[in-house]
Amino acid sequence: MLNKCTLFLPLLLSGCGLAVVGGVGTVGMSAVEDRGITGVASDQFLRMEVDNEIADKLADSSDIDVTAYKGKVLLTGIASSQKAKAKAVQTARGVSGVKEVVDGMNVEGEDGFSEYTRDAWMTTKLKATLYTDEDVIAPNYQVTTFDKVIYIFGTAYSKEEMKRVVDYAYDITGVKKVVNKIEVVKPR
Count CB neighbours of 90 within 10 A: 12
* Shared domain check, 89 and 47: yes
Q: Give the domain range for residue 177.
A: 111-188
* Shared domain check, 89 and 132: no
Closest-CA residue to 123 (of 151, 164, 85, 91):
151
Which CATH number belongs to the domain containing residue 160 in this structure? 3.30.1340
Give the Cα separation of 62 and 27 in Å (integer): 27
One digit per residue, the tens of pLDDT, for the chain of length 188 reads 344 344 444 444 444 343 334 443 444 444 456 777 888 899 999 999 999 999 999 988 888 999 999 999 999 988 888 999 999 999 999 999 999 999 999 887 655 566 778 999 999 999 999 999 999 999 999 999 999 999 999 999 999 999 999 999 999 999 999 999 999 998 76
Query: Is the dihedral angle over the CA atoms 14, 18, 20, 25 positive or is it negative?
Result: positive
Which CATH number belongs to the domain containing residue 48 in this structure? 3.30.1340.30
How far, in Å, are 95, 118, 181 from residue 145 at the CA level? 24, 9, 13
